[in-house]
């Protein structure tokens, strides 16, 4: 017996039989009759999502049992997606499959474009652990419309639909053949995969299981930049224009070209909005000694309290730092003052610190006694210049333990020239954590434990983004950190509207179809942003939270048109983000960079990528 039982909200015997065959042994579906209800729901929606929701919600209200409903239809390219949600009654009342087929064939007579797809949307209501909101699962199968009906199996449009890669119609296939590739089968498979993974991966169960190995490339040590160039904007800049979007190629123009970062002003247009992360890197590496003299490194990750006396940390030489021990971090000769560190909760990697001597605050003590947290792939000792060079000119709000490295290329002069051209700057804060360097050790993306980072966005930027959207102006994220916050905003709004905002955007939110719906209707970007703006105004002009957002292929970008970024590590979440943004074309971009001696990673060269 399967662990999940759902009422299937349909009276269609063919549909029940087909669905039960698809889910056999993995999910138990009971009919309306078995649930003890007789109900007909008017399908008054204008989308598959809305109709599926109307049916699921009505049956859940009548039974009190978890329920799944579907809405399906045939979408024909030449008819702009028609008959779509009106597929069942395309030829009018009462439902007559033969008449529907005949009408469609008559309309398409002489039409060369016969491409079409079947689509099913499932809506699940009442499932435990779903935050009290519906879940949605989508399934499609591509094919074409035949010139004449062929076959006697199946139902609906099956006799005139030939799936891609086959030479027979759905009506000429056996039930098992059709179920293996049908739209309804694909939707139910998505639902079953989600239920199987949810107990282990939670929200990440929605994330596509992309193989991490597909995002690997050879990065020789010699191509990693161990030192930063001066001046900052003297680094190389790769410019890439995607296949679509607001930066279309002109006649004869190359898709990828090389420039210098100081040329950025020539590659932007008046009215563009550049969004920078104004986090400030703290010297998060504290080197001290225990009473016995052993050297210990305490790497600060996230503060627990506002005074910065309690932190979540990573500890090097941890075995020497035992319960009851104190680590003392002292200054250089001639400087009085020290930081003393004890365990608050060793199992949770939480420490408590106090300071003595000349320091006014704990933040002051950390600033004076800590070392710059250069990334682990910069294999050299920290030097005096790193404290200034591993800090962006936009840095305002202390809290990051890694730099938003795309910002490191900007100079005051470059920013002035960009502003003079009519390019507007906006600012947000995301405190970059050590998790940004966390290697992906899992085989598939959905198995990766995505790190969370703290963010804050003010009302000025929110207003600026809404203006840019209304006026169709381009938004360019300076760095992947800015992009992660910008693309998180839609999901903040969706959670606010659905009543489930608890200060966190989860890793699977970008792939949870239900999160972007309200009462079966899609939440627009405008509606979501309006909810975010209203919430920010009620909270003192700022919205704060954490984001775990995981951007990979399949993600829908709603805010960012362009991205300024460095070149990232193989098999990393950031490389997956780049691939999603450029629609899988990352290998061409990175191949170009390798062939032109670009420098990689944090102190390396930059790129300007357009969708």
pLDDT tens, 457-499?
A: 999 999 999 999 999 999 999 999 999 999 999 999 999 999 9
Domain presence at residue 223 = no
Same-domain check for residues 521 and 602: yes
- Per residue in 420-468, pLDDT (tens digit) is 999 999 999 999 998 887 788 899 999 998 999 999 999 999 999 999 9
- Per residue in 316-369, pLDDT (tens digit) is 999 999 999 999 999 775 567 899 999 999 999 999 999 998 899 999 999 999
> Is 594's pLDDT higher than 60?
yes
Average of per-residue pLDDT values in the chain: 93
Domain presence at residue 224 = no
Same-domain check for residues 450 and 565: yes
Same-domain check for residues 454 and 537: yes
| Residue 5 φ then ψ, to 5° | -125, 130
Domain presence at residue 498 = yes
Same-domain check for residues 319 and 440: no
| Catalytic center residues | 71
Whether the link from the prior residue into 94 is cis, omega within 30° of 0, is yes
Domain presence at residue 64 = yes
**What integer pLDDT is reported at residue 110 of this predicted model?**
94
Same-domain check for residues 365 and 405: no
**Strands 161-163 vs 135-145: parallel, antiparallel or unpaired:** antiparallel
Question: What residue ranges in 164-241 does DSSP mark as E strands?
Answer: 236-241
**What integer pLDDT is reported at residue 244 of this predicted model?**
62
**Strands 273-277 vs 424-430: parallel, antiparallel or unpaired:** parallel
Mean pLDDT to the nearest integer, 556-575: 97
Query: How far from the centroid of its chain's Cα atoms is residue 156's Cα?
Result: 37
Residue 507 banded pLDDT, cuts 50, 70, 90: very high
Same-domain check for residues 455 and 545: yes
Same-domain check for residues 288 and 274: no
Give the DSSP H/E element, type plus range, for residue 386: helix 386-389
Domain presence at residue 221 = no
Q: How far is CA 246 from CA 475, 476, 487, 550, 560, in A?
A: 10, 11, 18, 24, 11
> Is 370's pLDDT higher than 60?
yes
The domain of 289 spans: 284-371
| Domains: count for the chain | 3
**What integer pLDDT is reported at residue 337 of this predicted model?**
87
Which domain CATH number covers 359? 2.40.10.240
Same-domain check for residues 320 and 408: no
Mean pLDDT to the nearest integer, 506-530: 95
The helix, strand and coil proportions of the chain, stated in percent and rounded to the nearest 5, come to 35, 25, 40
> Strand 161-163's sheet: what is its strand order?
28-30, 5-8, 67-76, 115-125, 135-145, 161-163
Angle of helix 480-498 relative to helix 459-470, nearest 10 degrees? 90
Same-domain check for residues 315 and 441: no
**Strands 273-277 vs 475-478: parallel, antiparallel or unpaired:** parallel
> Is 226's pLDDT higher than 50?
yes
> Is 304's pLDDT higher than 80?
yes
Least confident of 16-20, 272-276, 281-285, 344-348: 16-20
Same-domain check for residues 166 and 191: yes
**What integer pLDDT is reported at residue 1 of this predicted model?**
38
Q: Which two tokens stand for residue 574?
A: 């950031």
Mean pLDDT to the nearest integer, 134-156: 93
Percent of the chain with pLDDT over 90: 82
Domain presence at residue 567 = yes
**What integer pLDDT is reported at residue 198 of this predicted model?**
84
Burial of 110 (0-12, 13-18, 19+ CB in 10 A): exposed
To 10 degrees, the CA torsion angle through 306, 310, 311, 314? 160
**What integer pLDDT is reported at residue 222 of this predicted model?**
96
The secondary structure of 43-73 as a DSSP string is: ---SSHHHHHHHHHHHHHHHH-S-EEEEEEE
Nearest alpha carbon to residue 331 among 374, 365, 292: 365
**What integer pLDDT is reported at residue 237 of this predicted model?**
98
> Is 251's pLDDT higher than 70?
no
Same-domain check for residues 361 and 264: no
Domain presence at residue 328 = yes
Calpha distance 580→569 (Å, rounded): 15
Nearest alpha carbon to residue 529 among 563, 488, 474, 480: 488
Same-domain check for residues 9 and 118: yes
With beta carbons less than 8 A apart as the criterion, state whether 510 and 555 touch.
yes
Which domain CATH number covers 52? 3.90.950.10
**CB-hemisphere CA count at 13 Å for 502?**
3
**What integer pLDDT is reported at residue 448 of this predicted model?**
92
Mean pLDDT to the nearest integer, 379-391: 94
Which domain CATH number covers 587? 3.40.1780.10
Query: In sequence order, which residues have a C-beta less than 8 Å from that of residue 555 and are 6 or more positions away?
Result: 487, 510, 511, 580
Domain presence at residue 477 = yes
In the block, which residue shows the tokens 């179809």? 513
């Amino acid at each position: 017996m399967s662990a999940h039982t759902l009422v299937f909200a349909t009276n269609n015997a063919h549909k029940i039989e087909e669905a039960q065959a698809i889910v056999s042994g993995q999910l138990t579906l009971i009919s309306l009759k078995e649930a003890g209800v007789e109900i007909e729901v008017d399908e008054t929606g204008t989308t598959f999502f809305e109709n599926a929701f109307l049916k699921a919600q009505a049956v859940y209200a009548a039974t009190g049992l978890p329920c799944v409903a579907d809405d399906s239809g045939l979408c024909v390219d030449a008819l702009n997606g028609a008959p779509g949600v009106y597929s069942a009654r395309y030829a009018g009342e009462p439902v007559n499959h033969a008449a529907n087929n005949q009408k469609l064939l008559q309309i398409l007579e002489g039409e060369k474009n016969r491409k079409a797809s079947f689509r099913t949307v499932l809506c699940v209501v009442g499932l435990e652990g779903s935050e009290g909101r519906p879940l949605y699962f989508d399934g499609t199968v591509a094919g074409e419309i035949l010139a004449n009906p062929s076959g006697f199996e199946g139902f609906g449009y099956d006799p005139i639909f030939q799936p891609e890669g086959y030479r027979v119609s759905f009506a000429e296939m056996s039930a098992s053949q059709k179920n293996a590739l049908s739209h309804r089968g694909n939707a139910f498979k998505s639902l079953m995969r989600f239920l199987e993974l949810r107990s282990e991966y939670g929200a990440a169960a929605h994330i596509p299981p992309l193989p991490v190995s597909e995002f690997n490339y050879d990065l020789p040590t010699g191509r990693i930049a161990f030192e930063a160039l001066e001046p900052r904007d003297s680094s190389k800049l790769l410019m890439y224009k995607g296949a679509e979007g607001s930066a279309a190629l002109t006649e004869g123009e190359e898709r990828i070209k090389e420039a210098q970062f100081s040329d950025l002003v020539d590659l932007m247009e008046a009215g563009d909005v550049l969004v920078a992360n104004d986090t400030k890197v703290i010297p998060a590496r504290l080197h001290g000694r225990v009473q016995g003299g052993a050297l210990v490194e305490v790497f600060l990750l996230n503060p627990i309290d506002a005074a910065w006396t309690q932190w979540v940390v990573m500890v090097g030489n941890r075995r020497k730092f035992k319960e009851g021990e104190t680590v003392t971090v002292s200054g250089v000769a001639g400087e009085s003052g020290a930081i003393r560190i004890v365990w608050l909760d060793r199992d949770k990697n939480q420490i408590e610190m106090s300071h003595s001597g000349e320091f006014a605050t704990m933040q002051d003590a950390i600033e004076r006694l800590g070392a710059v947290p250069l990334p682990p792939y910069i294999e050299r000792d920290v030097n005096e210049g790193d404290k200034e060079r591993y800090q962006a000119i936009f840095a305002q709000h202390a809290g990051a333990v890694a730099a938003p490295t795309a910002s490191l290329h900007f100079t005051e002069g470059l920013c002035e020239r960009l502003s003079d051209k009519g390019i507007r700057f906006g600012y947000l804060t995301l405190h970059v954590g050590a998790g940004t360097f966390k290697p992906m050790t899992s085989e598939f993306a959905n198995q990766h434990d995505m790190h969370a980072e703290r963010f804050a966005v003010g009302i000025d930027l929110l207003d600026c983004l809404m203006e840019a959207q209304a006026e169709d102006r381009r938004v360019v994220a300076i760095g992947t950190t800015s992009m992660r916050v910008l693309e998180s905003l839609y999901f903040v709004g969706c959670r606010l509207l659905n009543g489930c905002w608890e200060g966190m955007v989860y890793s699977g939110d970008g792939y949870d179809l239900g999160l972007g719906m309200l009462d079966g209707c899609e939440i627009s970007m405008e509606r979501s942003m309006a909810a975010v703006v209203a919430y920010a105004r009620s909270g003192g002009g700022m919205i704060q939270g954490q984001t775990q957002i995981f951007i990979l292929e399949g993600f829908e970008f709603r805010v960012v048109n362009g991205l300024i970024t460095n070149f990232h590590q193989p098999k990393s979440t950031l490389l997956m983000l780049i691939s999603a943004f450029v629609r899988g074309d990352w290998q061409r971009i990175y191949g170009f960079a390798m062939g032109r001696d670009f420098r990689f990673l944090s102190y390396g060269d930059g790129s300007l990528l357009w969708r």
